[in-house]
């Protein structure tokens, strides 16, 4: 499917392709699911749209568990004649869309630790992407422009 998606983008004349997203359930749970100390909960509306994402719940100490997107970038770069770029959802948006599990501690403190840990992981991932030859990296932060409470309980 990744190869077909890359071919479709190249055939459409897209200058910079993306390859890994076809494997994702959504942009939030894909990254959050790769970080220890979180679990993925039910669906929630992605801001004020008809798009839904699986909501991360911060349960405890946040720890890296595996690379976020560098492997997907390398696969896309190898399969494409066009330059490839990865897309990462930023730590601020993740924090705004996540819940802190009150049973394990202060929910706000858990969300803050999540933001800090995920921010550090994204920085490491950007450095790994650069080492892998990536020249364009897209980091999305849609929560910066939205002033609604998007958390649910």
Rounded-to-10 torsion of CA 95, 102, 51, 43? 140
Q: What are phi and psi of 96, to 5 degrees?
A: -70, -25
pLDDT digits (tens, 9 = 90+) for 73-91: 999 999 888 999 999 998 8
Is 149 domain-assigned?
no
Q: Which domain holds residue 59?
A: 2-143
DSSP single-letter state for residue 149: -
Residue 150 within any structural domain of the chain: no
Q: Is residue 148 part of a domain?
A: no
Task: For 7-35, write each residue's pLDDT tens digit.
Answer: 999 999 999 999 878 888 898 998 888 88
What pTM does this model have? 0.82
Alpha-carbon dihedral of residues 46, 97, 20, 60, nearest 10 degrees? -150
Domain for residue 38, yes or no?
A: yes
Q: Can you give the CATH number for the domain in which 118 is found?
A: 3.20.20.210
Tell me how many domains the chain contains: 1
């Amino acid at each position: 499917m990744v190869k077909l998606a890359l071919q479709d983008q190249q055939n459409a004349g897209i200058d910079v392709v993306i390859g890994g997203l076809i494997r994702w359930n959504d942009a939030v749970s894909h990254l959050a699911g790769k970080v220890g100390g979180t679990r993925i909960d039910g669906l929630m509306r992605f801001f004020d749209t008809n798009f839904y994402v699986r909501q991360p719940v911060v349960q405890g100490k946040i720890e890296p568990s595996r690379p976020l997107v560098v492997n997907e970038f390398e696969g896309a770069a190898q399969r494409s004649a066009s330059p490839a770029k990865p897309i990462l959802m930023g730590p601020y948006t993740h924090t705004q869309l996540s819940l802190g599990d009150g049973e394990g501690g202060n929910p706000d403190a858990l969300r803050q630790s999540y933001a800090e840990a995920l921010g550090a992981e994204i920085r490491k991932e950007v450095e790994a992407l650069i080492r892998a030859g990536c020249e364009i990296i897209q980091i999305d932060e849609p929560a910066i422009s939205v002033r609604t409470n998007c958390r649910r309980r």
